[in-house]
Amino acid sequence: MASEQSLHMNQGEGETSYARNSSIQNAVQKWMKPVVEEAVTDLKKFTNTSCSMLIADLGCSSGPNAVALASMAVDAIFRYRGLDGKVPPELWVLLNDLPDNDFGDVAKRLVAFQKDAAPNFGGHVLTAIVPGSFYKRLFISSSLHLVLASNSVQWLSEAPEDLRKNGIPMYDCDEGLRQARRSLVLQAYARQFRKDFTLFLNLRAQELVPGGQMVISLPGHCSNDSACQSNLRCDGTAFMLNDMASRGVIDREKLDSFYLPMYDPSDQELREIIQDEGSFMINKILVHDVISDMDKISITPKMVALTVRAAFEPIIAQHFGSQGQVMEEFERTVEWHVGAGAGRPQVFASAFLCVSLKKKV
């Protein structure tokens, strides 16, 4: 099991970096834009009565997407405040991720963001980096007006403990055993997601002002979609690693103890967890095939392989060893199987959920 320190995207700006292989995540953020703008509109009463406003992006990662959501929100605040003829508030923009995130890249992008945004707010746009897990308290009570998160809360705080304790692999090499244990594995991941997302909601409810807004996107699927039965996108990654283990590239015993701490819920699961936790009103929950918004010509097997490697290399390398040949072979394996098509599990999500919430007053 990897520590939370390893849960970050590939750093830098090289060929396998997240900065160069995050076009799917960028498409998700563009899809979120109208929902973010609606949340800002609902917050007008705060910007009309408060001299300051705090925005936090949780799991910002690095690269060009790191400041994209905050930029959308800031642009909307200035635009709507201008229509009212009001003086824009002072803004705090706070970006969060785990300590091993590429914060050097984030800091440079924040400087450019602040330079562009400050003139519209009388120079009063302040920024800060807040390292730490969003499964812990990050901000003081009743301080935030808007919380944003894109493609981050599907990451769990840990792999399901009951699977690890009982030595049940995430992905059995024996197909019969894998199918027999399928519901057990799914239920274990679903319980862990419920536990983690409930905690996430409770913590953010403590940090948001009454009536504060939260907009989150994450991979998932529609509960009414009978064609989509899998909540474990990590099946695709495990399928590739299983191929590598069968060829002796990685150790089989290590694969049996590898758990990718990730879960893609359905919209109904999210709704039930939010309602049970009780701190928020649901504005809307949307489901969308983000890949349909992208240029299909750009989605090649090579592009998919690099995207998956950029996201999962740190956690795979930590578990199986950081030898370059392991990740090179992982990339080649993903590319080959994606190109082969039929019968191979997906290694990245096409459907995403967007959830807009309002803290109860």
Does residue 189 lie within any of the structural domains? yes
Q: What is the mean pLDDT of the chain?
A: 86
Query: How high is the pLDDT of residue 1?
Result: 38
Tokens of 174: 């024996």
Range of the structural domain that residue 79 is part of: 18-359
Q: With contact defined as beta carbons under 8 Å apart, do 2 and 319 qualify?
A: yes
Q: Is a pLDDT exceeding 50 seen at residue 85?
A: yes
Give the mean model confidence (pLDDT) for residues 33-61. Answer: 85
pLDDT tens for 122-134 read 667 899 999 999 9
Does residue 10 lie within any of the structural domains? no
Query: How high is the pLDDT of residue 3?
Result: 43
Does residue 173 lie within any of the structural domains? yes
Tokens of 19: 């900065």
Q: Is a pLDDT exceeding 70 seen at residue 36?
A: yes
Query: How far apart are the C-alpha atoms of 310 and 329, rounded to whole Å?
Result: 14
Give the mean model confidence (pLDDT) for residues 49-56. Answer: 81
User: Residue 95 CB: number of other CB atoms within 10 A?
Assistant: 29
Q: Is a pLDDT exceeding 90 seen at residue 89?
A: no
Mean pLDDT check: name the lowest of 40-49, 186-195, 298-307. Answer: 40-49
Q: With contact defined as beta carbons under 8 Å apart, do 106 and 129 qualify?
A: yes
Q: How many domains does the chain have?
A: 1
Q: In this predicted model, which residue has the larger pLDDT, 81 or 290? A: 290
72: domain CATH number? 3.40.50.150
Quote helix, strand, coil % in the chain, to nearest 5. 50, 20, 35
Does residue 3 lie within any of the structural domains? no
Q: Is a pLDDT exceeding 50 seen at residue 2?
A: no
Does residue 7 lie within any of the structural domains? no
- pTM for this predicted structure: 0.91
The half-sphere exposure of 352 on its side-chain side, counting CA atoms within 13 A, is 26
Query: How high is the pLDDT of residue 5?
Result: 45
pLDDT tens for 328-339 read 999 999 999 888
Does residue 214 lie within any of the structural domains? yes
Does residue 12 lie within any of the structural domains? no
Tokens of 11: 């750093």
Does residue 1 lie within any of the structural domains? no
Q: Identify which of 220, 196, 249 has the alpha carbon closest to the alpha carbon of residue 352.
A: 220
Return left, alpha or beta for 360; rule: phi > 0 is left, psi -120 to 50 is alpha, else beta: beta
